[in-house]
Every structure is written in C-alpha cells, then in structure tokens.
Amino acid sequence: MVGMPAGMIFMLGTAELLLPIGMILGIYVQIVALILGIIMIGAITIKTMKWHFPFGAIDKTGWEFDLILLAANFVLFMNGGGAIDIQKVGLY
C-alpha cells in the first residue's frame, strides 16, 4: 500500500517502535529526534504528494498529527533531553 519493499517497511516499523523508547529513557535524544523527524517528513510527503490527503479530514487521517510530531522532534533536536537526560545525569 505504501509502495515500499516489505523489508523497508519492517525497518521503519522497528525504528518507530525502538527509537521512542530510547527517547523516553533519555538515550541519544537529539539523534533519535533527528531520525524521527526525518521519518515524519517522509510520512507528510507520502500523505500529501502520493495519497493527496488534506491537512485535516473527518473521514481519514490527515497529516496534522504528523506535523505536531515533527515540531516536537524539532524542539527536542534543538534543545536536547533536558536535565533528566541520562547522558547528562551520568547514568549512561
């Protein structure tokens, strides 16, 4: 349905599962935010260019939530994980 090989979709699903876990734990937050931001840019591109979804729609998922996730990843990429980042605390 997406138009990508099955192996690539499996890698994308694995990344979307494991990377937020690393972000929650505070491990390499800026790198994780960058990778997830790139994934969100790809999701927005597919939804707008290929599937022609509007920004917000009642009958289907628009790309408004993807834009919010992109903005959140941008903020985390620019600012880092904050004071509770495991790398700053010294636990990692």
Q: Which residue has the tokens 């390499």?
A: 28
User: Could you report the per-residue pLDDT of 10-65, keeping only the tens digit for each?
Assistant: 999 999 999 999 998 888 899 999 999 999 999 999 889 988 888 987 777 888 99
Look at residue 27 in the predicted model and tell me its pLDDT.
Answer: 86
As a dihedral over the C-alpha atoms of residue 30, residue 4, residue 56, residue 77, rounded to 10 degrees, the angle is 10
The token duo for 68 is: 């919010």
Look at residue 59 in the predicted model and tell me its pLDDT.
Answer: 78
Can you tell me the mean pLDDT for 55-76?
89
Assign 7 a pLDDT band (cuts: 50, 70, 90).
very high
Q: Where are the chain's structural domains?
A: 29-84
Distance of CA 17 to the CA centre of its chain: 10
Judged by average pLDDT, the poorest of 2-6, 10-14, 46-50, 77-81 is 2-6
In total, the chain counts a number of residues equal to 92
% helix / strand / coil in the chain, to the nearest 5?
Answer: 65, 0, 35
More confident residue, 85 or 78: 78
Q: Is the pLDDT confidence value at 92 over 60?
A: no
Contacts 24+ apart (CB under 8 A), 13-19: 15/39
